[in-house]
Amino acid sequence: MNAQMQKAAPIIEAIDLHKSYGKHEVLKGLDLSLERGEVVALIGPSGSGKSTFIRCLNMMEIPTGGMIRFRQKAVGERFRDKGGEIGIGTLRRHVGMVFQHFNLFPHKTVLQNVTEGPIVVCKTPKKEAEERAMSLLAQVGLADKHGAYPNHLSGGQKQRVAIARALAMEPEVLLLDEVTSALDPELVGEVLSVIRGLAEKGMTMAIVTHEMAFAADVASRVLFLDQGVIAESGSAEQVILNPQNPRLQGFVSRFRG
Amino acid sequence: MSYNWDFHSVWQYYDLFLLGLWISVLYTFGSIFFGVIIGFLTCAARLSRWRALNAVARIYQEVFRCTPLLVQLLWFYYAFPLLIGASIDNRVAGMLTLSLYVGAFYAEIFRGGIVSIDRGQREAAAAIGMSPWQSMTRIILPQALKRVLPSFINQSVIQFKNTSLVSVISVADLAYMAAVVNGQTYRPLESYTVMAVLYILMLLPLTQAADWIEKRLRVSD
């Protein structure tokens, strides 16, 4: 494989992805292919399946049909690699996730939250992990909070720590699941600017968001999910600024106000 | 009504009281030790996806939570030997019963603590690549155990009092020794009062500590 091909090869793919809860089918066959450096925004009404979809990408939800491929290899349902299949554990080491409700570890300090993954999962020496964590905290503007416990932080600060925690694993892909939806409006900006910085540095990301202006700004591609399928996809200009699908037109216009 | 208190004749047997107290403490900590192990295993079984294991653990818990400890002690000492065709030492029967009894309650306390931890914690641990074991031991358990510490201490205080029941199968604990002293002195009021005071002296610091810990945990949350 030459360098040219490697660059074009997708890092993570979803192929004909289905997910049902009992009789209720949430995802009805979705395909996605993420290349290095791409930022894909997933938009759509609540219940459209966008959160379920992004959670399938790191197997937080196990798909009921189709498959996830990571570096052209199928991801299995076991934690460890087996045969030609990549294990869920391996997948998650390389695919980070940030949640709507932060989910910081309340019994650990900010620094420990960030070093936990590298030390426990990657067996990085503590000192090295801490040095790296401090530089990541500086990157998200929270170096001075390294000794604080999560309960003493604002929502925006918590989410920035959560981003640093995910980055500490040096992920190849970052999944952001409505990361500003639980924040007070005045705290949204500080989190979005961190994400914007990551996009500028070439981080590959899939972002579920309701922030249309932000999606239009950072995303190289926007997918509109509706009723469990990708109803429209294309550049931000096409999908958000010039929508064709009538349901998408209605959805986008509601956010324009 | 005038009663001539005579603690002196009873206190002559102070060594019996102290020995009994020591035995009670031994049974308390012994059964707490084994009970914690049993409780953890039962809790793990209850949380496992293996249905048969789950059912066995559940039946064990309900049997031991829904019969009086006294009944269990009598059963293990007098009935169980007939079932297995071998006699069983009263001290062994006592320790076994106490441990199984408290283990059933501990299991429920641990389980309650674990399921009370927000699902997002497990997801966050999984998202950084932790195995289920790492997630449980490093993220879930530390938070769950902190949360259940007050209930755990309460159950352990109750356990101290419960050890007094082993006297009915002739284990020489504090309650048993008080009866012995009473038999020697014919001074039931003094004998049993000394016993009660010794129990209070042992347990009061523990209940106070439990309250203090509970208050501290509430502040730090």
- Chain B residues within 8 A of A96 when measuring between CB atoms: 127-128
Q: How far is A89 from chain B (nearest CA, A)?
A: 5
**pLDDT digits 0-9 by tens, A78-108:** 999 988 899 999 999 999 999 999 999 999 9
Of B121, B129, B131, the CB nearest to A105: B121
**pLDDT digits 0-9 by tens, A15-70:** 999 999 999 999 999 999 999 999 999 999 988 999 999 999 999 999 999 999 99
Mean pLDDT of chain A: 92
Alpha-carbon distance values, A195 to A192, A199, B80, B214 (Å): 5, 6, 67, 41
Q: What is the mean pLDDT of residues B137-163?
A: 94
The model's confidence at residue A135, banded by pLDDT at 50, 70 and 90, is very high
A116 near B CB under 8 A: yes
Q: How far is CA B24 from the centre of its chain?
A: 11
Q: How far is A223 from chain B (nearest CA, A)?
A: 23
What's the rounded Cα separation, in Å, for the pair A175 and B127? 10
Tokens 């999984």 locate to B126
Check residue A7 and give its pLDDT: 54
Check residue A47 and give its pLDDT: 86
Domains identified in chain A, total number: 1
**pLDDT digits 0-9 by tens, A153-203:** 999 999 999 999 999 999 999 999 999 999 999 999 999 999 999 999 999
A114 near B CB under 8 A: no
Query: Does B145 have pLDDT greater than 80?
Result: yes
Domain that holds residue A245: 3-256
What ipTM was reported for this prediction? 0.91
Architecture, CATH, for domain B7-220: Orthogonal Bundle (1.10)
A165 near B CB under 8 A: yes
Q: How far is A238 from chain B (nearest CA, A)?
A: 33
Closest CA to A156 of A177, A183, A131: A183
Residues of B in CB contact (< 8 Å) with A are 118, 120-121, 123-132, 134, 138-139, 142-143, 146, 221
Q: Which two tokens stand for residue A18?
A: 């289905």
Contact A98, A173 (CB under 8 A): no
The model's confidence at residue A2, banded by pLDDT at 50, 70 and 90, is very low
Q: What is the mean pLDDT of residues B169-191?
A: 93
Is A121 within 8 Å of B134 when comparing Cβ atoms? Answer: yes
List the Cα angle B111/B115/B116 in 5-degree steps.
Answer: 115
Preferred mutation among A55, A79, A149 to probe B, highest tally of B CBs within 10 A: A79
The model's confidence at residue A243, banded by pLDDT at 50, 70 and 90, is confident
Check residue B11 and give its pLDDT: 86
- What's at B54, amino acid-wise? N
Q: What is the mean pLDDT of residues B57-82?
A: 96
Q: What is the mean pLDDT of residues A222-229?
A: 93
Check residue B215 and give its pLDDT: 85
3-state SS record for B131-168: CHHHHHHHHHHHHHHHHHHHHHHHHHHHHHHHHHHHHH
CATH code at A36? 3.40.50.300
The model's confidence at residue A9, banded by pLDDT at 50, 70 and 90, is confident
